[in-house]
Amino acid sequence: MRGGAAALLLIAATMASGDERLSGTAFMSPETRAMQADDLANPGMFAVLEGARLWEETAGVSGRSCAGCHGDAAETMKGVAARYPAFDEASNAAVDLTARVNLCRTRHQDADPLPPEDPRLLALTTFIGHQSRGQKIEPDPDPRLQPWRELGARLFRTRMGQLNFSCANCHDDNAGRHLAGNPIPQGHATGYPIYRLEWQSMGSLQRRFRNCLVGVRAEPFAYGSREFIALELFLADRAAGMTIETPAVRP
């Protein structure tokens, strides 16, 4: 009841601002919201701390650290996650923050890329994302990203899997309703990487995509695939102006 009242207040406050979009936080229990709001209770803060350590640590043959080039992340990384995915000139493609960290490793640190969902990769992207906490999502307007934007928008509405669901079927058309008792959020990816209680670990937005795809019995796209980057960019557009929460806690 208390949770319902709090959620209503949150919804009322958001609607008063003329924006009816809600982050997944609005659909959580009061307990989980409290866990996210308290940095001493939020398990995602361990990833932030580990990321801060890795930021200073040298990697690869170059002997360079992230800090060696980028300096104090509190200044240089502020607002960066708010603008990703972004266009990468050298590869002539859209890249997300995860891909950017690995490009830095291979191009500048002479280090091997870290595998998908590697705890070090998640720690670094969580740490970088955290530098934008409280800032508005501001997608990269680069016109060269247009093909990814269009692909992402199309994929969001494409039915997939044996159960034949699109993202939009749940997150646009049925948000706020319940799938076996679990509220369906609006699909605004404002807090990634997240600490998900169901995983008992940190995970990327792409891991979350894969969960949904397996849930509808579809063949998931590969980590780092063009399709996933496109979906990430579409979701960034969809959540433009909403506030970054990294690291969010989700059920």
Partner 1 sequence: MRRVVAAAAAICAAGGVCAGEGMPPLTSTPGDPERGRAIVIDRETGLCLLCHSGPFPEVTFQGDLAPSLEGVGARLDAAALRLRLVDSRRVNPDTIMPPYHSTDNLNRVGAEWRGKPILSAQQIEDVVAFLATMTEVAQ
State the catalytic residue, choosing from 66, 104, 167, 212.
212
Q: CB of 4: closest distance to partner 1 in angstroms?
A: 15
CA dihedral of 189, 191, 192, 196, whole degrees rounded to 10: -100
> By CB under 8 A, what part of segment 128-167 binds partner 1?
158-165
Enumerate the β-bridge partners of residue 203: 194
Q: What's the CA gap between 51 and 78, in Å, rounded?
A: 15
Binding mask 161-180 for partner 1 (x = CB under 8 A): xxxxx---xx--xx--xxxx
Angle at 51 between CA 47 and CA 57, to 5 degrees: 145
User: Do residues 42 and 247 touch, judged by C-beta distance below 8 A?
Assistant: yes
Nearer to partner 1, 69 or 179 (CB): 179
User: Do residues 191 and 202 touch, judged by C-beta distance below 8 A?
Assistant: no
Q: CB of 219: closest distance to partner 1 in angstroms?
A: 5
Nearer to partner 1, 37 or 214 (CB): 214
Nearer to partner 1, 166 or 243 (CB): 166
| Total site size for partner 1, rule CB under 8 A | 25
Binding mask 186-205 for partner 1 (x = CB under 8 A): --------------------
> By CB under 8 A, what part of segment 219-238 binds partner 1?
219-220
Six-digit token string for 250: 């989700």
Instruction: Indicate if 212 belongs to the active site.
Output: yes
Q: What's the CA gap between 56 and 103, in Å, rounded?
A: 17
Q: What's the CA gap between 114 and 93, in Å, rounded?
A: 19
Q: What's the CA gap between 52 and 161, in Å, rounded?
A: 39
User: Which of 214, 222, 225, 241 touches partner 1 by CB under 8 A?
Assistant: 214
User: Do residues 146 and 237 touch, judged by C-beta distance below 8 A?
Assistant: no
User: Which of 35, 218, 229, 244 touches partner 1 by CB under 8 A?
Assistant: 218
- Contacting residues toward partner 1, per CB under 8 A: 158-165, 169-170, 173-174, 177-182, 184, 213-214, 217-220
Q: Which residues are catalytic?
A: 212
